[in-house]
Structure 1
């Protein structure tokens, strides 16, 4: 799956340097990334994310943006609210802003200082991209969710199901062997991102590997570490078939 990279840098010369480094690294390493936008305008990034909100993306952000009332910290805060699994790398002359990064719960992947040598900056960017690519190779083994600005991961092998909270379709419950969690999310989004899960009901997205029994008459799935899940009438036949073919 291709992942977009966004670059915010107000100095056109340094922006070109970063653009060249990113393109060279992506080409040499054959990474599954593409440069979506390189700009000195913070609003351009926020507008792009509003028009097409990805689940994950990579952001290289300057902090102090000349002639703008919007800082890189503001953009990062916006990203954390709109792109749950974003990777944020600050590239800045203002490492003293680290306290703001902490207080805004941005949790960047890295902070690269511009006063480092060009080779050192390039090496740090290279390693960050390799780390993200390596994590992506194992993404199918994990399910992620965002809670209070923090990205959490759960092994799919431990997940029983996701369910919509009754009366609140914008909130989901995650039930796994080790934890339960309630967070803002959309079941349709998780269904498209994790095709290995089964939509047995409009309110349930289940891991069939965790099912211990299926009562066809009651239309109910049983799990070892979770309460039963309801099955809609129209899903009974396909669910029964998949369970028998496991």
Structure 2
């Protein structure tokens, strides 16, 4: 989900921006929503501080307020370092300042180009949503595990299962290429694995993407690397439901 913020001191312009965004959200399948539409940069910042959702910000540069658009963007970066900032202004010559102030603007739209403004705003929303989804996929794709003073980076898609080790507080990660033993507990690792993983017993977590057969009669999961994992009685229903959902 992305929260969209608009900040423009010209009421007619603000209404137009809002209308463009509302039409986009109505006509497209999206989880984004218009969270703030204001002429007051302080109001925008106040709402930003209350939210933990990544934002897409359309900001006029000349706001006739205590903060101009670039200064507002600098403040936004303190609370939303990964947010998407777009400047919409008549002052095209100020584009260079966005680099000098290091606010990492996503785009710069000249509002005088009224005919192309709707397409440009909608394009920014689409690009922000695509980028946001890609970032989510990346964060759900790789797993970083601290080992002593170094880190082990694993592709979660390569993990077949995780099981308890023979030693206390040791777990074994079964991958396509072999096994790795690390210090930790199943509970700790389960909390950072993505939604493809499910704990099927007290001693094993499996990657459902690698399950090729579930024998409910034998309470057994057969994996694509020929390993098998027992399913506890209380997890049988959850395993079947999870497999149905992932398929």
Q: TM-score, normalised by structure 1?
A: 0.65
Match of 1:74 among 71, 76, 97: 71
**What's the offset of the Cα at 1:232?**
8.0
Distance in 1 (CA, whole Å) between partners of 2:86 and 2:186 is: 44
User: Where does structure 2 lack aligned partners over 5 or more consecutive residues?
Assistant: 191-198, 207-228, 232-238, 240-247
Corresponding residue SS for 1:218: coil
Name the CA shift for 1:227/1:216 in 2 (closer, same or farther; >3 Å): closer
Instruction: Provide the rounded CA distance (Å) in 2 between the counterparts of 1:240 and 1:74.
Output: 54
Q: Structure 2 residue aligned with 1:94, among 85, 88, 91?
A: 91
1:240 aligns with 2:203: yes
Change (3 A) 1:103 1:209: farther
* Partner residue in 1 for 2:153: 176
Counterpart CA distance in 1 for 2:144 and 2:160 is 6
Counterpart for residue 64 of structure 1:
62
Write the mapping of 1:136-175 to structure 2, written as runs, cut at 5 A. Answer: 136-143=132-139, 156-161=140-145
Q: Which runs of 5+ in 1 are unaligned?
A: 144-155, 167-172, 179-196, 198-206
Comparing 7-16 and 98-107, the one that deviates more: 98-107
- Cα distance 1:98–1:214, how it changes in 2: closer, same or farther (>3 A)? farther
Following superposition, the deviation at residue 80 of structure 1 comes to 1.6
Structure 1 residues 40, 135: CA separation in 2 closer, same or farther (over 3 Å shift)? same
- Rg: which structure is higher? 2
Distance in 1 of aligned mates of 2:91 and 2:51: 29
TM-score of the superposed pair, with normalisation by structure 2: 0.64
State how far apart, in whole Å, the 1-side matches of 2:59 and 2:10 are. Answer: 12
C-alpha separation in 2, matches of 1:104 and 1:123 = 27
- Determine if the alignment matches structure 1 residue 25 to structure 2 residue 8: no
Structure 1 residue 135 displacement after superposition: 3.5
2:52 pairs with 51, 54, 75, which one? 54
Cα distance in structure 2, aligned partners of 1:37 and 1:232:
42
SS of the residue corresponding to residue 142 of structure 1 reads helix
Q: Which residue in 1 is equivalent to 2:169? A: 219
- How far 1:90 sits from its partner (Å)? 0.9
**What is the distance in 1 between the residues matched to 2:66 and 2:79?**
20
2:55–2:84 contact (8 Å) kept in structure 1? yes
Q: 1:86 to 1:174 in 2, by over 3 A?
A: farther
Equivalence for 2:11: 12
Q: Is 1:83 aligned to 2:85, yes or no?
A: no
Corresponding residue pairs, total: 196
